[in-house]
Amino acid sequence: SCSLTCATCNGPSPNDCLSCHPPLLLHNGKCVNFCPLGWFKSVSVCKKCDASCRACAGSANQCTECAPSQKVFQSKCVMNCAPDEFFDGLRCTKCHPSCKECSKEGHLGCTKCGFRTLNGKTNKLYLSNGECKHVCPAGTFEDDVSYECHGCQQCPASCQSCYGINTTSCLSCVPPYVLHGTQCVSSCPEGSYMDRALHQCLSCHASCVTCNGTGPEECHSCRAGADLSDGSCVTNCSKGKYPDVAGSC
């Protein structure tokens, strides 16, 4: 009879298996749990990877791991080139001088940009459609983190101009909205007032809750424990104390 691990066999030894009980896999006459390195699972049998692969999956030439001097590129093992080189099918070839990294020759083969020294001058370059540019083209903006040109998006309806990848940071507003920080608002929050000349919210004096200017005499309302007197918030201090400029006793 066959060994317990074999489904079918041509001898009694565990090395004489012809097929295995699921989920075991047949490898060189043995039933194993996993295919060893350099082999891949094909239905219920382990098959050898192509000699160019250290490990593979799906088929013999679909490499998933390579020798230390190589790397996987499009399921093939190719030479592990330097960052500013690419594998042209035969050898490692230098990228175009404008590229930090690339996938093919020429100035349109860049995959990564950044600071590059050209003719003794260091330049900051940004990736746009495979090309490293000094300035991003119209309709895009420079990202100083990824060194890429990102496509511009529509600003929120209340913004006249904006910036940022998500276009949520306003630079100026469409009237009657005014700028508060990086947002366009229809009314300024407590502690600030609307400066219509500058079209933005400015902070009130520290003694005011609401105001119509930045000075201590331009308050509209005061904090608890203070009274409004001729535009100023006067703190009700205990006997023997007086309010300072900030309204504290």
**Angstrom distances, CA of residue 169 to CA of 160, 180, 202:** 11, 10, 18
72: containing domain:
6-79
Confidence of residue 10 (pLDDT cuts 50, 70, 90): very high
pLDDT value of residue 245: 63
Q: Which of 57-66, 90-99, 109-118 comes out lowest in average pLDDT?
A: 109-118
Among 84, 82, 8, 85, residue whose Cα is nearest residue 44: 8
Specify the higher pLDDT residue, 234 or 96. 96
Tokens in use for 169? 């940071």
Q: Is residue 117 part of a domain?
A: no
CATH number at residue 46: 2.10.220.10
pLDDT value of residue 238: 66
Q: Is residue 34 part of a domain?
A: yes
pLDDT value of residue 9: 96
pLDDT value of residue 8: 97
**Angstrom distances, CA of residue 44 to CA of 30, 35, 231:** 12, 10, 88
16, HSE (Cβ side, Cα atoms, 13 Å): 10
What's phi and psi for 212, nearest 5 deg?
-125, 20
d(CA 172, CA 176): 11
pLDDT digits (tens, 9 = 90+) for 214-238: 999 999 999 888 888 889 888 877 6
pLDDT value of residue 69: 84
Tokens in use for 69? 């001097």
- With b meaning 16 or more CB within 10 Å and e meaning fewer, what string describes 141-160? bbeeeebbbeeeeebbebbe
Domain's final residue, options 79, 102, 126? 79
pLDDT digits (tens, 9 = 90+) for 32-91: 999 999 999 999 999 999 999 999 999 999 999 999 888 898 899 988 889 899 988 888
Q: Is residue 44 part of a domain?
A: yes
Beta bridge partners of 166: none
Domain's final residue, options 14, 47, 79? 79
Q: How many domains, the chain?
A: 2
Question: Is pLDDT above 80 for 210?
Answer: yes
pLDDT digits (tens, 9 = 90+) for 149-204: 888 777 888 888 887 666 678 888 999 999 999 899 999 999 999 998 899 999 99
Residue with tokens 């219920």: 44
pLDDT value of residue 246: 59
Residue 46 makes CB contacts below 8 A (sequence gap 6+) with 25, 26, 27, 28, 32, 35, 36, 39, 40
Domain's final residue, options 24, 48, 79? 79
Q: Is residue 29 part of a domain?
A: yes
Q: Is residue 112 part of a domain?
A: no
d(CA 80, CA 65): 12
**Angstrom distances, CA of residue 132 to CA of 136, 145, 147, 225:** 9, 15, 9, 62
pLDDT value of residue 59: 95
pLDDT value of residue 166: 63
Among 162, 211, 216, residue whose Cα is nearest residue 201: 211
Q: Is residue 243 part of a domain?
A: yes
As a whole number of Å, the end-to-end CA separation of the chain is: 101
Q: Is residue 240 part of a domain?
A: yes
Q: Is residue 234 part of a domain?
A: yes
Length of the chain, please?
249
